[in-house]
Amino acid sequence: MHQRCFLIFALAGLLFVLHGGCSDSSTTTTTSSDSGSKQVVGTNFPLYCLVKGLCESTDVKVHYVGPTPGFSGETGHWSPDEKQIRKLQSASLVFRNGRGAEFAEWIKRVTLDESKLKSATDSMDLTDFVIVKGYGTVHRHGPEGEHAHASIVSRCWLSPKIASKQIAWCRDQMLACYPEHKAAFESNFLAMDKELKTIQGQWESASAKLQGRSLVTSNPEANYMFQSMGITTVTMNWRELPDRGPANEQIDKAINEQESGADAIFVWTLDPEDDAVKQAVDSKFGSSCTLDLIDRGNETDGFGEYIKRLRHNSAAVMKAISTTGAMGESGDQR
């Protein structure tokens, strides 16, 4: 009898220890304040803005896990800290750019429930993507010899047309997860979609002013904006220029081969480290402008900030159009 009682107490003690161990480990992925609440995450700033706008007037909390304006490096090299990883792991849904055009490459290194990951690029047709060929590091494998693969460009949010598709897709994901907020999601979607379509219509109307002009972009990301306007550009990839030497050598190899002149516009998305390079480029074109890639932001911002920055890009290009012909002037419309 005493032996049986001892075994019962010993087993109870073992179960208590095991239960306590699971509780301790669970605190590394979920905080008590997040437990049981409605949490979703956006892993790029524009996608966060779209989802946050959809969730206005609901009790769904939307978090942003991505680079902020204070991040000084290339946004593609940003990684989340431990607190941000816990937000990701405790969320009901995690919105990402999507495979192929992934912006948040770090997500591959974080342990997440695959069923929670939602790829916004699922809303896009193949023709929506900007695809570049021959860019990237030249390498050799197999019998093919030296070559570089084609790749899909991220930052598709620079197009309001694509953003309209993605917001409808985000609405459907949110409805599936939180059907009790259907009325708010639908109402918010209609208002946001109307604003995006207004911008798209304005861009299409303005595209006539770009017809017949030579438009050169420093990086392929800019083509999401111009592709939505029906404009064809000459595209460089400033990050991948083979010669990182003196400014004049870069200009001779990269710019002199491009079509330039008084009616040509150069569009920057990534400023070169050497100011002399930028000045040399600008001197060969009628005007230039710099686009905001909208790949940094603050969680305190929302859909209105995203719209503001889309309009900034439109205004920068329109100002460059109005100043073409001023050869020798900087023309940087930041």
- What is the count of structural domains for the chain? 2
Shared-domain flag, residues 194 and 211: no
Overall average pLDDT of the 180-203 stretch: 97
Residue 120 tokens, joined: 């916004």
219 in the same domain as 183: no
Quick one: pLDDT at residue 325?
52
The answer to whether residues 93 and 55 belong to one domain is yes
The verdict on residue 270 lying in a domain is yes
The answer, yes or no, to whether residue 333 has pLDDT greater than 50, is no
For residues 248 and 286, membership in a common domain is answered with yes
Residue 32 has a pLDDT of 33
Q: Edge to edge, what strands does the sheet with 61-64 contain?
A: 61-64, 39-42, 93-96, 117-119
The H or E element spanning position 288 is: strand 285-290
Q: Are residues 261 and 188 in the same domain?
A: no
User: Which residue, 172, 199, 226, sits at the end of a domain?
Assistant: 199
Higher pLDDT, 141 or 25: 141
Asked whether residue 54 carries a pLDDT value surpassing 90, the answer given is yes
Q: Which of 43-47, 108-112, 204-208 has the lowest mean pLDDT?
A: 204-208
Same domain, 261 and 279: yes
83-103 pLDDT, tens digit each: 999 999 999 999 999 977 899
Q: Could you tell me if 193 and 212 lie in one domain?
A: no
Tell whether 169 and 247 lie within a shared domain. no
Q: Which of 159, 178, 199 is the last residue of a domain?
A: 199
Render pLDDT for 214-254 as a digit per residue (tens, 0 to 9). 888 988 999 999 999 999 888 888 776 555 444 455 555 55
Highest mean pLDDT out of 235-244, 260-269, 270-279, 293-302: 293-302
What is the CATH classification number for the domain harbouring 179? 3.40.50.1980
Last residue of a domain, one of 199, 222, 238: 199
Q: Cβ(292)–Cβ(309) under 8 Å?
A: yes
Asked whether residue 327 is domain-assigned, the answer is: no
| CA dihedral for 8, 13, 16, 21, sign (positive or negative) | negative
Task: Give the lowest-confidence range in 16-25, 54-63, 229-238, 263-272.
Answer: 16-25
Question: 51 and 193 share a domain?
Answer: yes
| pLDDT top residue among 224 and 263 | 224
Supply the pLDDT for residue 28: 32
Per-residue DSSP letters for 303-331?
Answer: HHHHHHHHHHHHHHHHHHHHTTT-TTS--
Is residue 162 domain-shared with residue 220, that is, in the same domain? no
Helix (H) or strand (E) holding 183: helix 182-206
109 and 191, same domain (yes or no): yes
Domain that holds residue 98: 39-138+147-199
Q: At residue 141, what are phi and psi to the nearest 5 degrees?
A: -160, 145
Cβ burial of 271 (10 Å; 0-12, 13-18, 19+) is middle
Residue 8 lies in a domain: no
- Any domain includes 272: yes
The continuous run of DSSP H or E covering 219 comes out as none
33 within domain boundaries: no
Binning pLDDT at 50, 70 and 90, where does residue 186 land? very high
Q: Is residue 11 part of a domain?
A: no
Q: 233: which 2 tokens?
A: 């550009």
What are the tens digits of pLDDT across the range 316-326?
Answer: 999 998 887 54
Return mean pLDDT, the chain.
Answer: 80
Q: Which of 67-81, 114-128, 205-219, 261-275 has the lowest mean pLDDT?
A: 261-275
60 assigned to some structural domain: yes
Same structural domain, 102 and 232: no
84 located within any domain: yes
